[in-house]
Amino acid sequence: MLKGIPHILSPDLLHALQAMGHGDEITIVDGNYPGASAGPRLIRADGHTGTDLLEAILSVMPLDDFVPDPVVVMQVVGDAGQKPPVVAAYEKIVQRFEPKMAVTSLERFAFYKRANAGYAMVQTGEQRLYGNIILKKGVIRPD
């Protein structure tokens, strides 16, 4: 255990977050996502929710403010304008850490394509449908 680091950030996840560079993407996916066959490095976080992992990750990782869509969720199939409760919770967490950032969305298969091309994926035990979110790593500016 380390001081100041959320305990749900496993050694494998901390390593991935530290190794990622500016512009690399990590995706938090729910328990239904086909993570094992997706392609990028898969980090298991069974027993944790997507919201808990998002909060822990954003406590240590900046988001990219150079691009228009650093935070992306999956659209509801057949109703792109619908906002599932887990997505509303994700938006509140993002706003707490990055108040000027908007959460955008992608159609299901476009989301899969982008997520599966990312640096890493964290498979959670999230049971809420559409509990998937892509995060693009930003930079830490000098003081």
Catalytic residue numbers read 22, 64, 112
Helices (H) and strands (E) in the chain — how many of each? 4, 6
**Coil, strand, or helix at residue 65?**
coil
Measured CA to CA, the distance from residue 40 to residue 115 in angstroms comes to 8
Measured CA to CA, the distance from residue 114 to residue 109 in angstroms comes to 9
121: β partners: 27, 42
Structure tokens at 59: 């406590």
Q: Give the type of residue at 67.
A: V
Q: What share of the chain is helix, strand, coil (3-state, %, to 5)?
A: 30, 20, 50
